[in-house]
Amino acid sequence: MSYLVLARKYRSRDFEALVGQEHVVKALTNALTQQRLHHAYLFTGTRGVGKTSVSRILAKALNCTGPDGTGGITAHPCGVCDACRDIDSGRFVDYVELDAASNRGVEEISQLLDQAVYKPVVGRFKVYLIDEVHMLSNTAFNAMLKTLEEPPEYLKFVLATTDPQKVPPTVLSRCLQFNLRPMAPQTVQEHLSTVLAAEKIEAEPGALRLLARGARGSMRDALSLTDQAIAFGAGSLTEAGVRQMLGAVDRSHAVRLVEALAAGQGAEVIAAVDGLRSLGLSATGTLEEMAALLQQMAVLQAVPDALDESDPDAPTAARLAGLLAPDETQFLYSIVLHGRAELGLAPDEYSGLVMVLLRMLAFRPGGAGTSPQRAAAPAAAKPVAAPVMSKPVVAAAPVRPAVVTPAPVSRASAPAASEPPPWVDVPYEDEAPVAPVAVREPEPVRPPVATFTPTPLGDRWAQVVGQMNEAASIGALVRELAMQSQCLSIDESAKPPVWRLRVERETLRAPAQRDKLQAALSDLLQHAVQIEVEAGVASDTPAQRATAERTRRQNEAEQIIHNDPLVQALMQQFKTARIVPGSVKPH
Ligand SMILES: [Zn+2]
Question: What beta strand segments (E) does 366-462 contain?
Answer: none
Do 53 and 135 belong together in one domain? Answer: yes
Q: What is the pLDDT of residues 171-197, one digit of tens each?
A: 989 999 999 888 888 888 999 999 889
pLDDT band at 412 (very low <50, low <70, confident <90, very high): very low
Q: CB-based contacts of 204: which residues, under 8 Å, 6+ apart? A: 237, 238, 239
b/e sequence 333-363, b meaning 16+ C-beta within 10 Å: bbbbbbbbeebeebeebbebbbbbbbbbbbb
Q: Does 501 or 422 have the greater pLDDT score? A: 501
CATH of the domain at 262: 1.20.272.10
Whole-number CA gyration radius for the chain: 36
Let me know if residue 53 belongs to a domain.
yes
Q: Please write the tens of the pLDDT for every residue from 26-50.
A: 999 999 998 888 999 999 988 888 8
Question: What letter does residue 203 receive in the DSSP assignment?
Answer: B
pLDDT at 572 over 50: yes
- Residue 327 phi/psi, 5-degree rounding, is -70, -30
How much distance in Å is there from the Cα of 82 to the middle of ligand 1? 7
533 lies in a domain?
yes
pLDDT at residue 168 greater than cutoff 50: yes
Residue 85 has pLDDT above 70, yes or no: yes
Whether 269 is in a domain gets the answer yes
Alpha carbons 43 and 54: distance in angstroms, whole number: 8
Residue 334's H or E segment, with its range, is helix 326-342
**pLDDT at residue 113 above 50?**
yes
Residue 99 buriedness (CB in 10 A; 0-12 / 13-18 / 19+) = middle
pLDDT-based confidence at residue 61 (cuts at 50, 70, 90): very high
In this structure, what CATH number is given to the domain that contains residue 196? 1.10.8.60
Does residue 28 share a domain with residue 50?
Answer: yes
What is the distance in A from the centroid of ligand 1 to the CA of 180? 24
AA identity, residue 345: L
User: Is residue 397 scored above 50 in pLDDT?
Assistant: no
Give the distance, in angstroms, between the CA of residue 67 and the centroid of all CA atoms in the same chain.
52
Residue 555 domain-assigned?
no
For residue 484, being part of any structural domain is answered with yes
User: pLDDT tens across 510-521, in order?
Assistant: 788 888 889 888
CA 285 – CA 339 distance, rounded (Å)? 12
Rounded to 5, what percent of the chain is helix, strand, coil? 50, 10, 40
Three-state DSSP at 77 gives coil
Model confidence band, residue 64 (pLDDT cutoffs 50, 70, 90): very high
Q: Is the pLDDT of residue 294 over 90?
A: yes
Q: How much is the pLDDT for 416?
A: 41
DSSP for 35-66, please give it: T---SEEEEE-STTSSHHHHHHHHHHHHH---
> How far, in Å, CA of 88 to CA of 125, rounded?
16
Residues listed for the chain: 587
Is the pLDDT score of 421 beyond 80?
no
The Å distance, Cα 60 to ligand 1 centre, comes to 6
Q: What is the CATH number of the domain that holds 480?
A: 3.30.300.150
329 and 208 part of one domain: no
Residue 171 and residue 26 share a domain: yes
Q: Kindly indicate the confidence band of residue 93, based on its pLDDT and cuts at 50, 70 and 90.
A: very high
Chain centroid to CA 544: 41
pLDDT of residue 433 exceeding 50, the answer is: no
Residue-level pLDDT at 371: 38
**Same-domain status, 257 and 168:** no
Q: How far from 43 is each of 40, 46, 155, 560, 564, CA to CA, in Å? A: 10, 10, 17, 48, 42
CA of 70 to the centre of ligand 1 (A): 10
How far, in Å, is the centroid of ligand 1 from the Cα of 542? 89
ipTM above 0.90, yes or no: yes
| Boundary residue ending a domain (231, 246, 261) | 246
Asked whether the predicted pLDDT for residue 295 surpasses 90, the reply is: yes
> Within this chain, do residues 203 and 325 fall inside the same structural domain, yes or no?
no
- Last residue in a domain, options 362, 382, 412: 362
Q: Distance (Å, rounded) from C-alpha 586 to C-alpha 576?
A: 14
**Cβ(260)–Cβ(268) below 8 Å:** yes
Q: Are residues 24 and 42 in the same domain?
A: yes
Tell me the residue range of the domain where 322 lies: 251-362
The answer on 129 and 61 residing in a single domain is yes
Residue 417 covered by a domain: no
Q: What is the CATH number of the domain that holds 40?
A: 3.40.50.300
Query: DSSP strand E in 100-168: where?
Result: 126-131, 155-161
In three-state secondary structure terms, 423 is coil
What is the Å distance from ligand 1's center to 133 Cα?
28
Contacting residues for 560 by C-beta, under 8 A, at least 6 apart: 396, 399, 400, 554, 579
Residue 424 lies in a domain: no
- At residue 586, the pLDDT reads 41
Asked if residues 186 and 20 have their Cβ atoms less than 8 Å apart, the reply is: no
Nearest to 17 by CA among 44, 53, 43, 41: 53
Ligand 1 centroid to 69 CA: how many Å?
8
Q: Is residue 309 pLDDT above 80, yes or no?
A: no
CA of 320 to the centre of ligand 1 (A): 53
Q: Quick one: pLDDT at residue 213?
A: 84
Give me ligand 1 centre to Cα 100, in Å. 28
Q: What is the pLDDT of residue 235?
A: 78
Identify the band that residue 445 occupies on the pLDDT scale cut at 50, 70 and 90: very low
pLDDT in tens, 221-271: 888 889 888 888 787 888 888 888 887 777 888 999 999 998 888 899 999
Domain count across the chain: 4
Residues 150 and 230 in one domain: no
Among 246, 264, 291, give the residue marking a domain's end. Answer: 246
Of 342, 430, 437, 456, nearest to 391 (Cα)? 437
Distance 519 CA to ligand 1 centre (A): 105
Helical packing angle, 205-214 and 239-246, nearest 10°: 20
Please state the rounded mean pLDDT for residues 63-78.
Answer: 90
Question: In 3-state terms, what secondary structure has residue 195?
Answer: helix
The predicted model gives 550-561 an average pLDDT of 61
In the predicted model, is pLDDT for residue 336 greater than 90? yes
Cα of 52 vs its chain's centroid, Å: 32
Question: CA 259, 264, 266, 268: dihedral to nearest 10 degrees?
Answer: -30
Residue 273 belongs to some domain of the structure: yes
Q: What is the pLDDT of residue 365?
A: 60
Q: How far is the CA of 511 from the centre of ligand 1 (A)?
A: 109
More confident residue, 419 or 217: 217
Exposed/middle/buried for residue 190 (C-beta within 10 Å: 0-12, 13-18, 19+)? middle
Q: Output the pLDDT for position 127.
A: 93
356 and 480 within one domain: no
C-beta separation of 313 from 296 below 8 A: yes
Residue 144 sits in the same domain as residue 34? yes
Kindly report, residue by residue over 527-548, the tens digit of the pLDDT.
899 999 888 888 888 888 887 7
| CA pair distance 8, 52, nearest whole angstrom | 12
Residue 379 makes CB contacts below 8 A (sequence gap 6+) with 413, 414, 416
Residue 314 has pLDDT above 60, yes or no: yes
Say whether the peptide bond before residue 496 is cis (omega within 30 degrees of 0).
yes
Residues 197 and 340 placed together within one structural domain of the fold: no
CB-CB contact of 261 with 269 (8 Å):
yes
Ligand 1 centroid vs 14 CA: distance in angstroms? 10
118 CA → ligand 1 middle, Å? 23
pLDDT single digits (tens) 341-377: 888 888 888 889 999 999 988 887 654 433 333 333 3
Q: Which of 241-255, 293-307, 421-435 has the lowest mean pLDDT?
A: 421-435
